[in-house]
Every structure is written in structure tokens, then in C-alpha cells.
Structure 1
């Protein structure tokens, strides 16, 4: 039996291993399932879970013979602290603004929130949003689902299978553009292509009359969000390589900023 006595490095590694397993398996898990995934014995996993209940790192979802646990508010506090170390809005907006000026398109950054996305920053130059002729609240609804639009599919392509299945089970929001991918088999094929290529092209998916290029923003191997470039469909070139290259460069810059020693960088 694996021993967890003491507070040394070995025990600490086991604790972090159990925490990471929740992210890999997702949802609530019993000690036996965690033990199989980690290679630890059940007794060790059970003790770690019980210790984590005290500070809210874990919460017990079901009790009894089939007891199960999930990550708790303590884990959420850790994630908030981690996100606080990512680049601030001034730095990230400068990247968006540069991409907007070099392409004359509309640029938006979408952050991952669970199995959805939310726009946290944008750069539109002198463009008048009212000229789109669409209710902004409706646009939020269209772009919320990860199955809708290039920015959503880029994120979805880097999500674990369980979240992909959850999103694929969602209905396509009403009112989206004519290019939205409604067939799940075609959508899954697009995710594989996106993962291989590193970007997605959208053809009037979220809005009629607007095409797009989207790239992922990755932090330490984990999807953090997506960078989206909107171009009017009539201005979208047949050869999209230059727009793709510009968006990829901006996305890579955001990814590098996210992994940088941000405390020292922000003080510079």
C-alpha cells in the first residue's frame, strides 16, 4: 500500500495528482475511479479527498457506498489566482489593436467560461457597431455556444471529449448565419482539422455577411480563449493566407504573454 505519512514532496505530488485527475476525468468521481486514473491505492486517494474537504478543495457530492467527489470552491480560488497572473487589459488590447489596424477588420478576444465563451475585449477602429443592423444582445446569444462560429470551434477543438460531447448535444442557436455547421459529424471533422492547422475559417457562421478567422490562445497547454478576426464577406479574399498569418501571429503573442513571468513584466 502506498504511504502518505509525512508532509514531504511525495505526498504533495500525490495531492496535485488527484487534483489534476478531476480536470482530466471531469465531473464527480469516486475514490476507486481516481485511484485507477492515478495509480494510487484507494485508501490514499480517500485520505487526500477527506483532507481536501476541510478547505473546500473538494466537495462530497454523494455519500455512502458510492460516494463521489468533485472540485470545490477552494479549487476555484486557485484558478482565479492563476488567471490574475495573465496579462492585463492594456497589454492584450494592444495586440488586438495592432491586428485590427493591419487587417482593417474587427477583432475580438473570447475567454473560455466553462463550456461557453464570452467576449472580454475587442478592437473595431472607427467601425460603427450600429451599422451591423443587429441587436447586440442577440449577437451575444449567437456567439455564446462553442458550436457556433470560428472562435467557438477553435476553443472546442482544444476541449476534452466530455465537454465536446456536451456542446454537440446543444441545439444550434436560432438566428445564426447561413454558414453555421449544423451537422455534428461535419462539426467533429472541422475540429480535427482546426487542431491540426491551428486556426479556423468561418463563413457567415454567427452573422450573415461576415466571415472570420480564429486562432486559439493557449496557456501551458490549456486552452484559455480564442482570438477572432471578422471581415465583411464581400471583402474576404479567396487567398486567406495573409489574414491567417496575421491572426496566428497575434494569437501566438497572446499565448506567450500568458505564459510570461507576468508580475515582473507588468511592472516594467
Structure 2
């Protein structure tokens, strides 16, 4: 049974700008602010701070370029052109801007496996993909899988500290798509039930990190912190350590991971503003 996910509070305050370009951008941002894929003209206009006639003209104009699709009377969704623009933008944001050094420093300080995951859509379901890592002198054979296998398996956001970290920052409709799929068969013995997983999300958002105990791999524990861009989740930094080497007090591991994620978030924000 898919659990009911409570709605999250989002800001509907439009940003400044009265030019046609600014109003079109605000309308596009409204799709990201509102939950769900398909939105009404009324809700889009209200969220963007526009009158319905202006919003309608922008939406109709954007249909020709593929920025918006009309899926019913007065109902719209983002079109394929918007998705392409978003993917290109995030590719530029995620370009190597020094993250390797941040990950290497974190690895040296924790003597653990360090992974950088990014949120990515796959067949309409949010997933995570490993985009970089630092392992120092550690041997991936200890994980029971190769680096390639680590990168390509465990994509589900249902398992692992990094998966739940990203999941906690998604909209309810995106979370529901993740819950609609079963936990992967390769999950470790610590994988959470639907109820436990749902209950952990509010806590994760509030405390700013997630802990995992043998969720993805038997015998391994982890901590993850969010990498954010412009107030939205980009991905997560994960520190993975053997459970028998996990400290009784993980506060230092948590602080190091949270600080590294914050540094990556800051670098992305600065790069975008440059």
C-alpha cells in the first residue's frame, strides 16, 4: 500500500520583474512551485502573480515552441523543450568546479568511501546517480562490488541515506512515484518499511542529514547531507563506512559530511551567479 504523503508548504510569492520575459519566467517557475505535473490556468496565474489573461497568452505562445503542453481545457504541463533546458542548465551547474577536492578532503578526514549523487529522472521516476566519488586507498572489493556496480546499482531513492536525503526534498507527487515502486531486491537488511521511510522524511529535512544502517549493503553504515541549488535539491554527499568501524558517536562524521555538502552547494550557487 502506498502511504499518503502530506503536502509540503511552498512559497507562492512571485519575484520581481514586469517585462514579458520576466513574466514568462515566473510562469515557468510556477510549475516547479506547485505540486503535481498538470496545473490549472488559475493556479499557475495566481502562483506567478499574473492575471489569467496574461498567463493564458504566455502559455499559448509557449505551446508553439514546446515549452508548455495543454492537456485539457485550462490545464497545462511543462513541455519537452522545458525539460531539455532544465537538463542543460543542471549539466552546467554540475560541471566540475572543484568538487573533486571537496570529496577528496572529506574522504581523507573520514577514512571512508565518499560518493556524490545527483537527482535524475528515469522513466518518469526520480532516481539518484553517482556523478563523482573519492575512495583514497580503500578497496572497492571490500564492498563486494566494483566501482561500476556501485555507480549503476542502488538507484532507488527508497534505500540508503543518500536516497532518503534526496527523497525528503521532493514534492509529494514525486515522492509518490518513488513509493509506487518496491524496494530493490539488492537492498540490505536495514531497508526501511514504507511507514518507517515516510516517517523519516520530515526528520531528515529538519536535521539536515540522514543516517543509514545497512540499507543498501550488508555490513555498511552511512551518513548523507543535501547538495542544494537555488533552494532546490540537486543531490547528496554520502559517507560510507564499515558498520564495525562506525563510531558510537557519529557527530564528527555528520559535521564533516554536512560541511562538505554545504561547500558544494555554495560553489554551485556562486558558479550560477558568475
Structure 2: runs of 5+ lacking an equivalent: 1-16
Query: Which shows bigger deviation, 162-171 or 74-83?
Result: 74-83
SS of the residue corresponding to residue 181 of structure 1 reads coil
How many aligned residue pairs are there? 253
Q: How many Å apart are 1:176 and its aligned residue? A: 0.9
> Partner residue of 2:64?
54
Gaps of 5+ in 1: 1-7
Alignment check: 8 A CA contact 2:168 2:201 kept: yes
Question: Which residue is 1:249 aligned to?
Answer: 259
Match of 2:127 in 1: 116
Specify the alignment match of 1:147 in structure 2: 158
Report if aligned partners of 1:210, 1:232 keep a CA contact under 8 Å in 2: yes
Change (3 A) 1:31 1:190: same
Structure 1 residue 105 displacement after superposition = 0.1
The 5-angstrom pairing of residues 39-118 of structure 1 reads 40-60=50-70, 62=71, 66=73, 68-86=75-93, 88-89=95-96, 91-114=98-121, 115-118=126-129
* Aligned 1:25-44 pairs, distance under 5 A: 25=34, 26-38=36-48, 40-44=50-54
Which residue of 204, 223, 236 corresponds with 2:214?
A: 204
What secondary structure does 2:38 align onto?
coil
Give the superposition deviation at 1:56.
2.0
- Rounded to whole Å, the distance in 1 between the matches of 2:23 and 2:256 is 43
CA drift at 1:14: 2.8
Which residue of the partner structure matches residue 160 of structure 1? 171
Distance 2:186 2:113 in 1: 21
After alignment, is 110-119 or 26-35 more displaced? Answer: 26-35
Deviation at 1:90, TM superposition (A): 5.9
Residues of 2 paired with 1:175 and 1:259: CA distance?
35
For the residues of structure 1 that align with 2:92 and 2:270, how far apart are their CA atoms?
Answer: 9
Q: Distance in 1 between matches of 2:226 and 2:48?
A: 29
- TM (normalized to structure 2)? 0.84
For 1:82 and 1:138, the matched residues in 2 are separated by 28
Question: Secondary structure of 1:108's partner?
Answer: strand
SS at match of 1:117: strand
Distance 1:89 1:142 in 2: 23
Q: Distance in 2 between matches of 1:88 and 1:11?
A: 31
Q: Is the 8 A contact 2:157 2:164 kept in 1?
A: yes
Q: CA deviation at 1:125?
A: 1.1
Question: In the superposition, relative to structure 1, how do residues 140 and 83 fare at CA in structure 2: closer, same or farther (>3 Å)?
Answer: closer
Is the CA contact (8 Å cut-off) linking 2:154 and 2:186 kept in structure 1?
Answer: no
Task: Tell me what 2:247 maps to.
Answer: 237
CA contact (8 A) 1:217 1:225 kept: yes
Give the C-alpha shift of residue 39 in structure 1: 5.3
Kindly tell me: are residues 223 and 234 of structure 1, through their superposed partners in 2, closer, same or farther at Cα, counting changes over 3 Å? same
TM-score when scaled to structure 1? 0.85
